[in-house]
Amino acid sequence: MFEQLKNLAGREYYLISSLLLFMVFFIIVGIYLIKLSKNHISNMSELPLKD
Q: Which pLDDT tens digit goes with each residue over 6-37?
A: 777 777 888 889 999 999 999 999 999 999 99
Q: How far apart are CA 13 and CA 36, in angstroms?
A: 34
Q: How far apart are CA 40 and CA 38, in angstroms?
A: 5
Closest CA to 32 of 45, 20, 40: 40
pTM > 0.85: yes or no:
no
- pLDDT at 14 (0 to 100): 86
How many residues in the chain? 51
